[in-house]
Chain A
Amino acid sequence: MSLEEAGIPTIAVHTHVFSRLAKATALANGMPTTRQAFVPQPVVDRTAAHLRAYIEGVDPVSKRPFMQEIIEGLTGPLSSEDLKGMSFDRSRAKLLEPDTEDNLHKLFQENYWTDNLPIVLPTEERVAAMLKGTSHSPDKVVGRLRPAEFREFWELTVEKVAVNAVMAGARPQYLPVILAMAASGTTARSSSTTSFAGIGVVNGPIRNEIGMNAGIGAMGPFNHANATIGRAWNLLSQNLQGGSTPNESYMGTLGNWYSYSATFPENEERSPWEPLHTRYGFKKTDSAVTLFRGGRYTQAGFGPRETWKEKFKRVFAACSPRQSPLLVMDPIVARLFTDLGFNSKEKLIAWIEENATLPAREYWDDQWVQTLLKPLAVSGVEPYATNLKAAPDKELPMFRAEEINIVVTGGETQGAWKIYEGTRSNNGTVSIDAWR
């Protein structure tokens, strides 16, 4: 659209499954008649012959020849609508029209304002009680969220975060954690076709102050604070960023269970290592939450046993190379690693960086390495540029040390570990104390 503004007639080509999203985005940008043409989904993995057939075929949305859409999009006459664009204000009242509880529950569900589990209706009284959980004023702007990088940002206030916290069933004392998550600018509900979710890790004194569970079942539905804080982050993400409606503002083809709730505290008291937030500039006495984008792959195991190195190499090789690992382990596992000489998380991270490798031919064949890292390599950015020249069988490192994170949690009933996809987001560790 910026090319249109620069005076260059432009037409954008999308695959047909994105037609509603593409049109909604054009409307939100004030250019609802942006010229668009569509080819069938998918383009990925199609041969040149298939793609040529798309070009010579019919636009599956307009049902007209694809190339006719292209040429007329650049040369056809403009209407008065094209020349004026569309300005409009989308502000709305703070409160909904009064209705019965049953009707309001139905309204919330039908509008995709819930996660399809029962919610607590955000009455004025409940929201006022929730706001007592922070010293900040209700109209203070917390930050901005958007469901994808090419979408518009929506602004969110303390009050709007509190509304969604009420809906999730959270208690006022959890609000500083939820505000910190909202302030991160990281959505837990990306519209990505790849269905990634948000994972939150809480560190510092607030874990115990609000009764979070870092013991048995820390990552399961066994603790009110863990469950409702993670749920609140998801609900506020979908509602305060402009929606998370399938085929409109959510395009994840498989979806993700972690999109219900995936937030847990580190078991700092039983861990032999420094807590996660100290890696990102916080003191142990600070409370902070770290946000990750991921949850597409999950690996699991027990130990370390005698052959742990072989197992770890296999497990990491099965991860996706551009999607960073978040290694979560029970305190038993962490202590066994210290017995093996890994007396800090950094030492184990260094081992993983060195030993998590893939042959170059597999590395560069990954869809997202192709899409996101290959352009950097072609532009000369290191280490990708050097790696692009590697022989097909040369083993390439999958992750850089700064992309790998370790968290200790769990109740010591088993020496269990899991590896989740967890890419720490930009500004991904946020002060909770700032939102008390």
Chain B
Amino acid sequence: MADKIRVHDPRGYPPKVTGKRLAPRLETLEGKNVFLVDCLFDNSEVFMNELSDWFAKHFPKVNISIIKPRQSWVDDPEMRAKVAANGDAAILGVGL
């Protein structure tokens, strides 16, 4: 029978995960301000425009606004603050 040996685990040190709760959900989207956050991937603008049109056709009482961060893949605290201050819900896309 072959001898057993001990070797190092080659994997690194992941950070501890701290649980975060989801925000309370809305009872309805009617009359609410919903931000469509365009993540700036190629063609996501077209997708968000179509999504906005879908709401206009099927849920006209939902107030839809499309918003974009200043840069792709870079956090935009100003945009986030605007959504948090003026929005009731957000749909992000189309991202990885």
Let me know if A101 and B16 touch, CB within 8 A.
no
- A324 interfacial contact with B, CB 8 Å: no
**Complex: chain B residue closest to A52, CB-CB:** B50
Count of inter-chain pairs, beta carbons less than 8 A: 255
Q: Is the CB of B92 within 8 A of A13?
A: yes
Whether A51 contacts B80 in the complex (CB less than 8 A), given A94-B8, A371-B42, comes out as: no
- Which of B6, B11, B20, B42 contacts A85, CB < 8 Å? B20
Q: How far is the CB of A76 from chain B (nearest CB, A)?
A: 6
Q: Are A240 and B12 in contact (CB under 8 A)?
A: yes
Contact B96 A21 (CB under 8 A): yes
Give min CB distance, B71 to chain A, whole Å: 5
Let me know if B14 and A242 touch, CB within 8 A.
yes
Least distance between A406 CB and chain B CB atoms (Å): 29
Cα of A98 to Cα of B8 in the assembled complex, Å: 10
CB contact between A241 and one of B12, B24, B80 (< 8 Å): that residue? B12
Q: How far is the CB of B50 from chain A (nearest CB, A)?
A: 5
Flag if B9 contacts A46 (CB, 8 Å).
Answer: no
Contact residues of A: prevailing secondary structure: mixed
Q: Let me know if A5 is at the binding interface, CB within 8 A.
A: yes
Collect the chain A residues with CB atoms within 8 Å of residue B11's CB.
92, 113, 160, 239-240
When C-beta atoms are compared, the residue in chain B nearest to A162 turns out to be B8
Q: How far is the CB of B25 from chain A (nearest CB, A)?
A: 5
Provide the bound-state CA to CA distance between A379 and B19, in Å: 36
Q: Tell me the dominant secondary structure on chain B's binding face.
A: loop
Number of residues of chain B lying within 8 A (CB) of chain A: 61
Q: Is the CB of A14 within 8 A of B96?
A: yes
Q: Which A residues, 131 to 167, have Cβ-Cβ distances below 8 Å to chain B?
A: 145, 148-150, 152-157, 159-160, 163-164, 167
Task: Give the CA-CA distance A14 to B49 in the complex, in Å.
Answer: 16
Taking a contact as CB atoms under 8 Å apart, the answer to whether A44 and B43 are in contact is: yes
| A2-B80, A100-B2, A371-B72 as given contacts; A88 in contact with B13, CB under 8 Å | no
Taking the complex as formed, is A78 at the interface, i.e. its CB lies under 8 A from any CB of chain B?
yes
The tally of residues in A whose CB lies under 8 Å from a CB in B reads 103
- CA of A100 to CA of B44, assembled, Å: 51
User: Beta-carbon contacts of A22-46 to B below 8 Å, as 1s and 0s?
Assistant: 1000011111011100010001111
B20 contacts A29, C-beta separation under 8 Å: yes
Closest CB of chain A to B29's CB: distance in Å? 6
Among A118-126, A210-218, A295-303, A332-340, the one that faces the other chain is: A118-126
Which residues B1-29 have CB closer than 8 A to chain A?
2-29
Q: Which of B25, B46, B49 is within 8 Å of A77, CB to CB? A: B25
A-B CB proximity, top 6 nearest: A85-B19, A13-B93, A240-B12, A87-B19, A6-B84, A98-B4
Known: A54-B47, A152-B14. 14 other contacts (CB 8 A): A3-B92, A9-B89, A10-B91, A31-B22, A48-B46, A82-B21, A85-B21, A87-B17, A90-B14, A95-B6, A95-B8, A99-B4, A157-B13, A372-B71
- Pull 22 A–B residue pairs with CB atoms less than 8 Å apart, ordered by A: A3-B80, A4-B20, A7-B23, A7-B24, A7-B84, A8-B90, A13-B91, A13-B94, A29-B20, A52-B50, A54-B47, A71-B29, A74-B26, A74-B29, A74-B89, A87-B19, A94-B9, A100-B5, A123-B7, A145-B12, A157-B13, A193-B96
